[in-house]
Chain A
Amino acid sequence: AQTVTQSQPEMSVQEAETVTLSCTYDTSESDYYLFWYKQPPSRQMILVIRQEAYKQQNATENRFSVNFQKAAKSFSLKISDSQLGDAAMYFCAYRSPASGTYKYIFGTGTRLKVLA
């Protein structure tokens, strides 16, 4: 069974600085999808970035980028030029592409604080 581990329960970053959130996973599959979701105090889970395992190129979305290391089963999220609005709970998620498997495997989350 797949597992997702987020080893940092809480992180802090100074405004305008860069922070990296870690995520590791365990799977025997060669093809899968990985996601980072952000959940601010407003509660809504918002997709930050998505990575297909078969793509070697790391995904980027504006100030957000990932460092995807398939062999190491690592999927870290880098937030550049951190803003106060980045403060939220961040969840890493894994999804198998197997037919009929709609489930996400979520990590336990990392709470990010942004200091002014």
Chain B
Amino acid sequence: DTEVTQTPKHLVMGMTNKKSLKCEQHMGHRAMYWYKQKAKKPPELMFVYSYEKLSINESVPSRFSPECPNSSLLNLHLHALQPEDSALYLCASSPLTSDVGNTQYFGPGTRLTVL
């Protein structure tokens, strides 16, 4: 099973709203990632969690707040977003052993629109 699930599929929010994106995997992977992807562009890394601890923050604005409650779940809390934050948000997970190159497996994404 190489499935990463994300909810919701679509999200529309105002600039004053607070919302959360959820990601889940049951592959036993100990690294999880959040990416932001604009149309026709490659994904841009936002955060990396390894062993449930934040290991990489790519200078993401504080209006994005990640959380990793356990090894299977990853959340992205959103608050006071700007219209330019509208994008596809992808979650991924990977093993932390190098025998398969730490291959990342992606979820289907959440399409976020900020009004």
Which of B90, B100, B106 contacts A50 (CB under 8 A)? B100
- Interface readout for B99-115 with A: 1 if CB under 8 Å, 0 if not? 01111111111010000
Closest CB-CB distance, A24 to chain B, in whole Å?
15
Count of A interface residues, CB-CB < 8 Å? 24
Q: Is the CB of B55 within 8 A of A102?
A: yes
Q: Is the CB of A33 within 8 A of B41?
A: no
Q: Is the CB of A102 within 8 A of B50?
A: yes
**A52 contacts across to B, CB distance below 8 A:** 101
Given that A100-B55, A102-B31, A102-B33 are contacting pairs, would A45 and B101 also be in contact in the complex, using a CB cutoff of 8 Å?
no
Closest CB-CB distance, A39 to chain B, in whole Å?
9
- Interface readout for A76-96 with B: 1 if CB under 8 Å, 0 if not? 000000000000010100010
**B40 contacts across to A, CB distance below 8 A:** 89, 109, 111
- Interface readout for B75-101 with A: 1 if CB under 8 Å, 0 if not? 000000000000010101010001011
Q: Between A and B, how many residue pairs show CB distances below 8 Å?
A: 58
Which of A50, A89, A91 contacts B103 (CB under 8 A)? A50
Which of B56, B94, B98 contacts A97 (CB under 8 A)? B98
Q: Is the CB of B100 within 8 A of A42?
A: no
Which of A33, A46, A109 contacts B101 (CB under 8 A)? A33
Q: Is B45 an interface residue (CB 8 A)?
A: yes
Q: Which B residues have a C-beta under 8 Å from some C-beta of A?
A: 31, 33, 40-43, 45, 48, 50, 55-56, 88, 90, 92, 94, 98, 100-109, 111
12 A-B contacts, Cβ less than 8 Å apart? A33-B102, A35-B101, A37-B106, A43-B88, A47-B103, A47-B105, A50-B103, A102-B50, A106-B42, A107-B42, A108-B42, A109-B40
The 5 nearest A-B residue pairs measured at CB: A33-B101, A106-B42, A45-B106, A44-B108, A43-B109
